[in-house]
Structure 1
Amino acid sequence: MIEQLDFTIIQWFLLAFCAVLVGMSKVGVPGVSMLVVPTLAIIFGGKASTGILLPMLMMADLFGVGYYHRHAEWKYLWKLLPWAFIGVGIALWVGKVVNDEWFKNIIAILVFVCIGLMIWKDRQKGNNLFPDTWWFAATMGVLGGFATMIGNVAGPIFAIYLLAMHLPKNSFIGTGAWFFLIINFSKFPLHIFVWKTIDWHTLTLDILMLPGIALGAFLGIKLVKRLSEDIYRTAVIIVTALSAFLLLI
């Protein structure tokens, strides 16, 4: 928790940079928000940083949903959301005793495994390695819900699932925007009343970051429009892998 907004110039710069990255990530620039997790953790500490990051993500979610809401594939959301809430509930229960670094390392390893399987699948011409079944949605949903509650690091997990479903670029972004808006707004009261990582001081800081989030959303929309489907999919895989490396640091 923070008691006052007394930061150095470098810390303010890093905060503003994080806000821009958060805004970009919510309109389709994949994985860049993962850079925010270690940066905020350095400034505020691990658990406290999750309460500062969450409202920033929520504000950015509104930009993403506002621009891409028509492109959401709700059949995938309905499959994921119930399992994701189970994951959030498990994380809420064990959050005070689980070692964050250990958990993030496990998530990173799973992301690498999924990326490897997905690349191998793309080179096959017949069989569907990731069938559109309940157990795959359940696994990714619970894992993603746990990861987003523990450290706001569910982006790579969710990206793996949607990429495996081979959604077009805009559907990928729109579905992800709705998913994280619903999940993040559901987590908000849990951070306030259970983990006590959000108060008026943190909310004031988050509101000050709103212009940076808006700038990031604007830049992200412009960038995504310039990317083809193939380039976009490759970028998602590359940045997701780099994001997983950050979880190991």
Structure 2
Amino acid sequence: MPELGALAWVLLAVAAVVVGISKTGIPGAGTVAVAIFAAVLPAKASTGTILLLLIVADIFAVITYRRHANWRALWRLVPAVAVGVLLGVGFLAIADDLWVKRTIGVILVAVIAITLWRRYRPARSQEPVGGRAAAVVYGGLGGFTTMVANAAGPVMSMYFLAARFPVKEFLGTAAWFFAIVNIAKVPFSIGLGLITVPGLLLDLVLVPLVVGGALLGRWIASRVDQVLFERLVILFTIVGAGYLLFS
């Protein structure tokens, strides 16, 4: 078990709850948890530790929203995501922690800017995103960012948001997407030495908090309206991007 102070344990506990909430209630909030783990633990090691907690939360999200996924959108993303994951593996093999954080931060800022521009430009060009070009761009970025920093939540949230999915379809599609991708990342993370025995022991302590957060997220999702939901997704995305850029 890693030797951590009381404040570090409190921060990790909060992050574990946020992981659960982000999967079943407020996508994008997970970036805050990623940031906390990276601040408390060594940055690269933190990605392997939080990955297993994300998978636990993914299971709850799939159980909750399994019937609401847009499978056509998911299949469209598969090729680009696979390429992005492989590029992320190569990047992790050569990049240090600082390069990882800065690169992801720049990508998130760009994605936020593009999404907001699409939403507020003249009405004649307000068609929802959903074509092959958008799937390639967002899918590639999502695959890359999920591999190097578990930070694809904001990227894919921007894609699903731009596609104008209703709340439950958004959550169901995201649930299946991340469950499949995160499980596929496990062998790569083991090979890169990101998943360790101390990290696994830490996960065992934090799993109950992830479960509690997932149940809380279900309660939140059943009560939040579409406009507030979209604003919260954008807000948490901006917070996460800011941390990665300036921490």
Q: TM-score, normalised by structure 2?
A: 0.92
Distance 1:179 1:116 in 2: 23
The offset of 1:133, in angstroms, is: 2.0
Instruction: Give the match for residue 175 of structure 2.
Output: 177
Contact residue 68 and residue 169 of structure 2 kept, 8 A: yes
Q: Is the CA contact (8 Å cut-off) linking 1:71 and 1:174 kept in structure 2?
A: yes
- Higher helix proportion (structure 1 or 2): 2
- Corresponding residue of 1:159: 157
Name 1:55's counterpart in structure 2.
52
1:117 counterpart = 2:110: no
Of residues 19, 23, 34, the one that matches 1:22 is 19
**Counterpart residue identity of residue 27, structure 1:** T
Q: Which runs of 5+ in 1 are unaligned?
A: none
Q: Which residue of 1 aligns with 2:147?
A: 149
Q: How far did residue 212 of structure 1 move? A: 0.3
Q: 1:129 to 1:112 in 2, by over 3 A?
A: farther
Q: Is the 8 A contact 1:34 1:246 kept in 2?
A: no
How many Å apart are 1:120 and its aligned residue? 3.2
In structure 2, C-alpha distance between the alignment counterparts of 1:202 and 1:112, rounded to whole Å: 30
Moved more, 175-184 or 110-119: 110-119
TM-superposed CA distance for 1:115, in Å, is 2.6
- Distance in 1 separating the partners of 2:243 and 2:156: 17
Task: For 2:115 and 2:187, locate their aligned partners in 1 and report how far apart those are by CA, in whole Å.
Answer: 36
Deviation at 1:129, TM superposition (A): 6.3
Q: What is the SS of the residue equivalent to 2:24?
A: coil
Distance 2:134 2:175 in 1: 20
Between the aligned partners of 2:208 and 2:9, the Cα distance in structure 1 is 13
Sort the Cα spacing of 1:130 and 1:101 in 2 relative to 1 into closer, same or farther, 3 A.
Answer: farther
Q: Indicate the SS of the match to 1:126.
A: helix
Aligned residues: 245
Match for residue 221 of structure 1?
218
Q: Over the residues paired in the alignment, what is the CA RMSD in angstroms?
A: 1.8
User: Is 1:243 matched with 2:240?
Assistant: yes
SS in 2 for 1:209: helix
AA in 1 matched with 2:78? L
Deviating beyond 6 angstroms after TM superposition, the runs of 4 or more aligned structure 1 residues are none
Task: Label 1:154 to 1:131 Cα distance change in 2 as closer, same or farther (>3 A).
Answer: closer
Moved more, 223-232 or 129-138: 129-138
- Secondary structure at the aligned position of 1:208 is classed as helix
Question: Which whole-Å CA distance do the structure 2 matches of 1:73 and 1:240 have between them?
Answer: 22
Report % sequence identity.
Answer: 36
CA distance in 2 between partners of 1:89 and 1:122 (Å)? 31
- Please list, as runs of the form range in 1=range in 2, the aligned pairs for 1:66-215 lying within 5 A after superposition: 66-123=63-120, 124-128=122-126, 131-192=129-190, 194-215=191-212
Letter paired with 2:152: A
- Give the aligned residue type for 1:71: H
TM-score for the superposition, normalised by structure 1: 0.91
Q: What are structure 2's unaligned runs of at least 5 residues?
A: none
Kindly indicate whether the alpha-carbon contact (under 8 Å) linking 1:21 and 1:32 is maintained by their aligned counterparts in 2. yes
